[in-house]
């Protein structure tokens, strides 16, 4: 099963995950007027390289852990596939927003 980016990335877009992805399956874009990243489920090889890189724990290892966000990743990835790459933010940079349920996965 592919990895999934969830609500913790919404409005953040640190993008450290992009640099370590061996198959370039993580794309940036805007979702509901907020910056966001998605993982293309058709390209993800489940290597796990992205998981420890996210400073806001926005990546989960299974569709089952975030089914509604898996659907969003799958819907947006074909649309965002050719978007320009983003420059990663420093992991030491504070989050841009306070999430209502930090650490809680949908």
pLDDT digits (tens, 9 = 90+) for 23-60: 999 999 999 999 999 999 999 999 999 999 999 999 99
List 60's β-bridge partners, or say none. 4
What's the rounded Cα separation, in Å, for the pair 42 and 44?
6
Domain ranges of the chain: 4-80
CB 6 within 8 A of CB 62: no
Can you tell me whether residue 79 is helix, strand or coil?
helix
How confident is the model at residue 100, as a pLDDT? Answer: 58
Statement: residue 102 has pLDDT above 80: no
Both structure tokens of 46:
């489940």
- pLDDT tens across 6-27, in order? 999 999 999 999 999 999 999 9
Protein fold of 4-80:
Alpha-Beta Plaits (3.30.70)
């Amino acid at each position: 099963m592919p990895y999934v980016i969830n609500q913790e990335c919404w409005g953040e877009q640190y993008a450290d995950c992009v640099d370590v992805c061996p198959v370039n399956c993580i794309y940036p874009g805007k979702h509901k007027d907020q910056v966001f990243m998605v993982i293309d489920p058709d390209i993800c090889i489940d290597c796990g390289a992205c998981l420890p890189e996210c400073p806001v724990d926005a990546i989960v290892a299974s569709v089952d852990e975030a089914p509604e966000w898996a659907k969003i990743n799958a819907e947006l990835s074909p649309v965002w596939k050719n978007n320009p790459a983003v420059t990663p933010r420093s992991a030491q940079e504070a989050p841009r927003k306070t999430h209502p349920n930090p650490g809680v996965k949908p």
